[in-house]
Structures are given as C-alpha cells and as structure tokens.
Chains A and B, each alone.
Chain A
C-alpha cells in the first residue's frame, strides 16, 4: 500500500528549533491529527509537507516521489490559514480557479460541491460579502472536488458551525475509505474515528 514517509525532518524558525529528527509514516486510508501548543510547529510542518517551505534536513516521500516534484505536488491539497479567495470574485469563480490549480475532477461538479457544503444560492455572491465560515466552506468545496490523495488541512474546522464540522469529518472519512490519507491540525475535539495522533 502506498504511504507518505517522512524521515529525519528538521525545522528551524528564527532562533527556535521547532522539531528535529521527526520521522513518521502515514499510510493510505489513515488520518493523522497533529497536536501541539501554539508555536510548536504544526503549521510549519504542514507547509513543509505541502512543498511551500523547505526543511533544514530530511526527506518526504510518496510512492518514490520526493516533495516538490510534480508527481508529489499533484497528489496534495493544502488548506492553509488563509481562505485563498479573492474578494472581487464570486464563490464559483474562486472555486474554478482553485480547482484549476489543483488536480481536480471535471469543472461541472463545482456547483454540486458548493451545494454539498451548504452554499446553495451563494454561487454568484462576491466572496468579500461572505462570512468567515462561508469563505472556509468555499475552499473546502475545492478540497472535495480535488482528486489529490494527500489532504493537508491546517485548522479545517475554524469558523465552521457544528453542521459544517460534521460535513468535513464525514468527507475526510470517505476520502480515507477511498484510499486517500489526511493529515490535519485542530485545537477542537474531533469525532473522527481511527485517528492517530502526533504530538509536536
């Protein structure tokens, strides 16, 4: 079975050594939750896994493809702190661009994805008029149409209401059943079954 293998990862930010010699492995079908206090390096770790930041040392490997290679990058979907939306565009336009950047299913499913995440009727709404939770839902709709195997979610439940959290959790479970894997951080309690925990 394919798995994401992280070995001997070091991360330094400023004068702080956030973590060193971090090694772990996540197999397809698994959910890994990263916990830790503020500033412990959760976001830095996800950014390194997403190929946005570089690590001081170490290897990240998915099916013999190293991080930052095209084959690796097309298998990841990174959801960061920012909404990654332009206020001047409406939900659908933002989602179209987001799904073009990531490896996604066909574009016709985008409206369906917005419906599924509870944004029916907001397709034409400019994102500057959306609430924080609704903005989060737009980018989550982008996650749901992506065909990437590796989901890297930084605080995916922020600003979501309990119903929204349930939708995301059920989608993560479905993704893992379909052979994907998910690494996420959260400070909230998560009801996800079979989650492994990595404490930084």
Chain B
C-alpha cells in the first residue's frame, strides 16, 4: 500500500480509537448551534434569517477546536521526526493528514448541518446551499488550519495563538459562504460566491501543504 494512503488510514485509526478527540468538536458544534434559539428567539422568521451565519460560525469554531490535535501528538511522540527524515514527500504526507482531518471533522459537520438547518427553520433551498458551501469550504478550513497548527506545534498553551493566526484567514470564507446561503433564500444567484469558495479551495490545496511542511521543519529544529 502506498505510504500516503497508509498515513491516511493510520490517522483515521488513531482518531477512531480515541473517539473523544473526534466527538468533542462535533458536540461543541451541535450544542453551540442549538443554544441560539434559546438565547435569541424561537420565532421561525428570526431564526431562518440568521441560521446560515450561526451554522457557519459554529462549524468554523469547531474546526478550530480540532486543529490543535492535528500535529501535536505526532510531534510529542517523535513520528513527525520520522516523517521529516523520510525520503517521501513531506507536503504529500501532510496532505494525507489534512485529508484525514477533513474526513473526521468536515464530513460530520456537513452531514449534521441539514438537521441543524431544520432546527433553525432554514428552508429547503437554504439547506441545499448550506451543504454545498460546507462541502466546498470545509476542506479549505482544514488546509488553512494546518498552516497554523504546524506553526504552533512546539509551543505550549497555544490555543489562543492558533485562533489569532487562523481566524483572519477564515473570514473571507465565512463572508462568502454565509452570504451565498442568505442570497439563495431570497432566490438570488449565488454563482459568484461558489466560484470564490472554489477558488479558495484550489489556492489552499496548492499552497497549504507546502507552507505547512516548511513550518513543521522550522518547528522541529
């Protein structure tokens, strides 16, 4: 089996044997979204207006919460040293890890989002567009997040630092994704937003593994 597929299956296996690391961000996602109707208003008209924004902010924070674990354990136990000293491509090894991270956080968020959309009275069209934006943009969240995670890998108590590094880069995704959903609710065209999210995905797919590889090498020195 190819080493990159092995890295992917290893990361999935490690995460599934330690389920709390996967479940905590998802629980955070569900709980934080379901608190909004209690705090703001249970009225359908109010909630359906802000539903996309709430789900998008919560999914972004949930991804952020899960990013600390991306490289941390492999740094502590020395597996990263083995990856760096291996003759295989470090950016591709990192890409496999990012893909595993997306499968474990992005996919469950996408699958949970229609349910939470119904909680918040989002109409069918809104839910459909919400899922499309999540599908297009959650990989970008994992990819961009890996840059931050690799920069802080040797730093202790780095939770806040990661947010400061990464959140500004997440903002454009947040703006375009949530505006796509609210425009779709009014029956307007959303091609522009989707193209932008796709462009962001391609850009981060091209650059994030390379930048993370450089950052990890610096962290290991």
Contact = CB atoms under 8 A, between A and B. Distances in A.
Contacts, number: 74
B81 to A, nearest CB: 5
A98 B82 contact: yes
A26 B14 CA distance: 39
A73 B86 contact: yes
Nearest to B78: A82
B81 A102 contact: no
Interface stretch (B5-13, B45-53, B146-154, B156-164): B5-13
Contacts of A73: 85-87
B179 to A, nearest CB: 41
A1 B205 CA distance: 44
B41 interface: no
A105 interface: no
A96 B14 contact: no
Contacts of A88: 13-14, 17-18
Contact of A84 (B3, B13, B79, B221): B79
A84 B85 contact: no
A189 interface: no
A73 B84 CA distance: 9
Contact of B85 (A51, A81, A83, A93): A51
Contacts of A78: 81-82, 85
Contacts of A87: 77
Contacts of A103: 87
A80 B220 CA distance: 12
B83 interface: yes
A53 B83 contact: no
A50 B1 CA distance: 25
Contact of B82 (A47, A81, A96, A102): A102
A114 interface: no
A149 to B, nearest CB: 12
Contacts of A84: 77-79, 81-82
A9 to B, nearest CB: 15
A103 B82 CA distance: 12
A132 interface: no
A161 interface: no
Nearest to A54: B221
Given A52-B84, A73-B85, A73-B86, A83 B77 contact: yes
Contacts of A71: 87
Contacts of A100: 1, 3, 6
Interface in B98-150: none
Interface string A126-150: 0000000000000000000000000
Given A80-B78, A85-B77, A86-B79, A101 B88 contact: yes
Given A52-B221, A86-B77, A89-B14, 20 more contacts: A51-B85, A52-B84, A53-B220, A53-B221, A73-B86, A76-B85, A80-B78, A82-B81, A83-B77, A86-B74, A88-B13, A89-B10, A89-B17, A93-B13, A96-B6, A97-B7, A97-B79, A101-B86, A102-B86, A103-B87
Interface of B: 1, 3, 6-7, 10, 13-14, 17-18, 73-74, 76-79, 81-88, 217, 220-221
Closest 3 CB pairs of A and B: A82-B78, A74-B87, A73-B87
9 contacts: A54-B221, A78-B81, A80-B81, A81-B78, A82-B78, A86-B77, A97-B6, A97-B79, A101-B82
